[in-house]
Structure 1
Amino acid sequence: MKKINKVVIVLVLLLVSSSFYGQNLKIMTYNIRLDVASDGENAWPNRKDFFTSQIQFYSPDIFGVQEALPNQVADIATALPDYNKFGIGRESEGKGEACAIYYKKDRFQLQESNTFWLSETPAVVSKGWDAACNRVCTYGLFKDIKSKKIFWVFNVHLDHMGNEARVKGVQLILSKIKEINSKKYPVFLMGDFNSEPDTPQIVEIKKAMDDTRAVSKEKPFGPSGTFNGFQYDKPVTLLIDYIFVSKNSGLKIQKHAVLSDSKDLKYPSDHLPVLIEID
């Protein structure tokens, strides 16, 4: 009987240790649409409460936003006090749209963070190649306080106009990951790539990383696309927002969802968020 009990204990320990984090990890990417008055009824002041309540409901452990102006970054932080945040605006600290990352402060320690520009001079405020705007990538190295596991999260918004800027931007990001990840920690790369799945830049990413939609153990949930353009009455089919994970990371992507929540026939943003759950 004692031997059986020992076997059961060992099996339980193995099951617990097989989970990378000891508990599920939820990561989300969300283009929140900048605060611009011309959006009228879809302007940020009219949707921010529903937006933040959506985040509270799904309770991602880490989420990255794109197009977040300084007042939006602050609004989210005020509404979600359980999270810490970091990220520099694309026009410099406190100016312009940011690819900010929020994380639950009672679960993670931020070991390292930085923002670089997608350009030929990534260390300084700059616009690259044929881009219409300055573009940035923000990243952080996280340590799970309980499990002690360490991993990277990169959050990006590629240019909406410049094709060369999208291709070269991805090359720069992959090069940066290779440069700083000498210890081969798992890496998540997420954001609004302004790129459909068959474009050269997405194909390039998939050589080094897995699309979490494709490797999810459970059937992906939600619409096939992520950009809704605030058009509630039309199908969402344009896929440009992704979460990738480094190949051979040992992580098990349990779930992948594109969330199409709405209120009074309105979306909280012109993009739908992507949420994954890691077992």
Structure 2
Amino acid sequence: MKYNILVCFTLILSIMSCNNEIKKEGQNLKVMTYNIRLDVASDGDNAWPNRKEFLSTQVLFNSPDILGVQEAKPNQMADLKRALTGYKAIGVGRDGENIGEFSAIFYNTEKLKVENENTFWLSETPNQISKGWDAAYPRICTYGLFTNLESNTKFWVFNTHLDHKGHQAQLQGVALIQDKISSLNSGDFPVVLMGDFNVEPNSELILKLKQNMNDSKEVSKISFGSNGTFNGFKFTELVTRRIDYIFVSKNNVEVKKYGVLSSAVDLKYASDHFPVLTELVIK
């Protein structure tokens, strides 16, 4: 009897030690950012109805735990919600609620739950529908605080689509996002910031952002695929413009893999942007 109790006690200690070791080592997390190109009939053969199945199955095949989408119109959000089984989404349209383009965050419900979420506008009045500085359009950022159901690890995810014309709107928008991160992240949890930034790596914006966060491509142990992320649906041309990013905290996130996925079917891409996929270790 004493022997059995001792064995059980030893097993319990062993399990507790393994669990602590798992938490110490961190949890793997697959994160994808994807500008899916808004649904517009003028795209012709590349219009959304002709590529939505390809795009959805591409996401499901790569099975990210977190997926940030940009340019998703309400009907595209509905299509994705139907197709991406096992996922839920947070976020609102940039023209309010279910109107306009989303910068939504989809998450794997079997692995993650949302503790806190919101969307704010990149403007001088971030809590109301608005267009900021010299932006051509209203721009938004959606964020969520997630908990890993297995390890109880918490982390923040911010997803945005910066303006394509306004230089000040780009700079001030990222500054606003960083201020929001600072104000929200009192627990010093890991942070992922991703999206279509509409600027290339040598820009003032990216150089400033790298002072506070890591560009996942630059710190990844393994890097794969095209350098560029914007293809413009031009299958026969080189893809050189890198404007889609996944940034991570400097101290508590390890980047194991970084990839730009340039899959095509019948000489056509699923979007005018390639998805960027990373494998992270959240510590």
The answer, yes or no, to whether TM exceeds 0.5 is yes
* Residue 33 of structure 2 corresponds to residue 43 of structure 1: no
Tell me how far apart the structure 2 counterparts of residues 261 and 102 of structure 1 sit (CA, whole Å).
21
Q: Which residue of 2 aligns with 1:205?
A: 209
Superposed counterparts of 1:20-169, under 5 Å: 20-21=26-27, 24-169=28-173
Q: Which residue of 1 aligns with 2:274?
A: 272
Classify the secondary structure of the residue corresponding to 1:184.
coil
Tell me how far apart the structure 1 counterparts of residues 57 and 19 of structure 2 sit (CA, whole Å).
36
Alignment check: 8 A CA contact 2:229 2:273 kept? yes
Change (3 A) 1:143 1:9: closer
Q: Which of these two proteins has the greater Rg computed from alpha carbons?
A: 2
Classify the secondary structure of the residue corresponding to 2:210.
helix
Tell me how far apart the structure 1 counterparts of residues 55 and 259 of structure 2 sit (CA, whole Å).
17
* Residue 267 of structure 2 corresponds to residue 261 of structure 1: no
Q: Which residue of 2 aligns with 1:226?
A: 229
Change (3 A) 1:268 1:16: same
Classify the secondary structure of the residue corresponding to 2:240.
coil
Tell me how far apart the structure 1 counterparts of residues 41 and 16 of structure 2 sit (CA, whole Å).
60
Q: Which residue of 2 aligns with 1:245?
A: 248
Classify the secondary structure of the residue corresponding to 2:160.
strand
Q: Which residue of 1 aligns with 2:8?
A: none
List structure 1 segments (4+ residues) > 4 angstroms apart after TM superposition: 8-15
Identity of aligned residues (%): 55
- Report the CA distance between 1:15 and its aligned residue: 5.7
Tell me how far apart the structure 1 counterparts of residues 15 and 170 of structure 2 sit (CA, whole Å).
51
Give the letter aligned to residue 41 of structure 1.
D
TM-score, normalised to structure 2, is 0.92
- Report the CA distance between 1:239 and its aligned residue: 0.4
* Range moving further from structure 2, 196-205 or 183-192: 196-205
Q: Aligned-pair RMSD on alpha carbons?
A: 1.7
Could you tell me which runs of 5 or more consecutive residues in structure 1 were left unpaired when the two chains were aligned: 1-5
Deviations 1:155-201 (A, max 9, x none): 00000011110011011111111111111100000000001111111
Deviations 1:121-152 (A, max 9, x none): 00000000000000000000000011000000
Q: Which residue of 1 aligns with 2:7?
A: none
Q: Which residue of 1 aligns with 2:5?
A: none
Tell me how far apart the structure 2 counterparts of residues 147 and 157 of structure 1 sit (CA, whole Å).
31
Change (3 A) 1:14 1:107: closer
Alignment check: 8 A CA contact 2:91 2:102 kept? yes
Alignment check: 8 A CA contact 2:122 2:132 kept? yes
TM-score, normalised to structure 1, is 0.93
Could you tell me which runs of 5 or more consecutive residues in structure 2 were left unpaired when the two chains were aligned: 1-10
Tell me how far apart the structure 1 counterparts of residues 236 and 24 of structure 2 sit (CA, whole Å).
43
Tell me how far apart the structure 2 counterparts of residues 9 and 182 of structure 1 sit (CA, whole Å).
31
Tell me how far apart the structure 1 counterparts of residues 100 and 254 of structure 2 sit (CA, whole Å).
36
Change (3 A) 1:11 1:67: same
- Report the CA distance between 1:13 and its aligned residue: 6.6
Give the letter aligned to residue 149 of structure 2.
I
Give the letter aligned to residue 145 of structure 2.
L
Classify the secondary structure of the residue corresponding to 1:171.
helix
Q: In the comparison of the two structures, how many residue pairs are matched? A: 270
Tell me how far apart the structure 1 counterparts of residues 194 and 38 of structure 2 sit (CA, whole Å).
18
Tell me how far apart the structure 2 counterparts of residues 124 and 253 of structure 1 sit (CA, whole Å).
35
Of 13, 19, 22, the match for 2:25? 19
Classify the secondary structure of the residue corresponding to 1:78.
helix
Give the letter aligned to residue 26 of structure 2.
F
Tell me how far apart the structure 2 counterparts of residues 270 and 38 of structure 1 sit (CA, whole Å).
14
